[in-house]
């Protein structure tokens, strides 16, 4: 397995490691197959990420991904940070071995969950938002985390059509070429 110099640098000298005790948002993700676990902590001021820290339990690629995601997101608006994808993370690192691409997805997911957690805290009291349980990934929309059980091809909450990824079998946007969960590129016929 060959890693780029940038991956090795971020693995050996990770940036923004730690915990923000009074974080405005926290996002936790894990991959039960490989055992990687990531937690991201964010501080937000005027809709902009002013501080990001992470804790990662996992391989060198997972640590490098966490580190680069914090650098990519720092100073961005929440909307800009939500556009960080597994593909852009892998590209920023100069590539990752195919069997480590899932790490880039975990990094983007953890950041997105921290932002969603922050937004949940900002929503008016009494408004209930669905919380994603990792065990329920197949019955929750990967974009808004709303329930899709019984209507796996459409999310009522965010009004998007979903399709099953042929690689991982999880729901992803029908109009996207890349799976939200595993990053697989779908071939259209």
Q: Smallest Cα–Cα separation from 168: which of 156, 180, 154?
A: 180
Catalytically annotated residues? 34, 103
Phi/psi at 38 (5° precision): -130, 140
Q: Quick check: 105 and 165 in contact, CB under 8 A? A: no
* Order of strands across the sheet that contains 25-30: 25-30, 37-45, 48-57
Using CA atoms, how far apart are residues 55 and 41, in angstroms rounded to an integer? 9
């Amino acid at each position: 397995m060959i890693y780029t110099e940038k991956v090795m640098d971020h693995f050996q000298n990770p940036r923004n490691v730690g915990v923000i005790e009074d974080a405005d948002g926290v996002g936790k993700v894990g991959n039960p197959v490989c055992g990687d676990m990531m937690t991201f902590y964010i501080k937000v001021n005027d809709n902009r990420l002013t501080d990001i820290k992470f804790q990662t339990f996992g391989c060198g690629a997972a640590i490098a991904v966490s580190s680069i995601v914090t650098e990519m997101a720092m100073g961005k608006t929440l909307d800009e940070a939500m556009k960080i994808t597994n593909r852009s993370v892998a590209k920023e690192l100069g590539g990752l071995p195919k069997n480590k691409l899932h790490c880039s997805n975990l990094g983007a997911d953890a950041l997105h969950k921290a932002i969603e957690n922050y937004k949940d805290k900002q929503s008016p009291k009494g408004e209930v938002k669905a919380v994603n349980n990792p065990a329920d990934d197949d019955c929750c929309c990967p974009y808004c985390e709303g329930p899709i059980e019984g209507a796996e091809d459409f999310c009522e909450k965010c009004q998007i059509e979903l399709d099953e990824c042929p690689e991982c079998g999880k729901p992803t946007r029908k109009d996207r070429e890349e799976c939200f969960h595993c990053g697989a590129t779908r071939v259209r016929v």
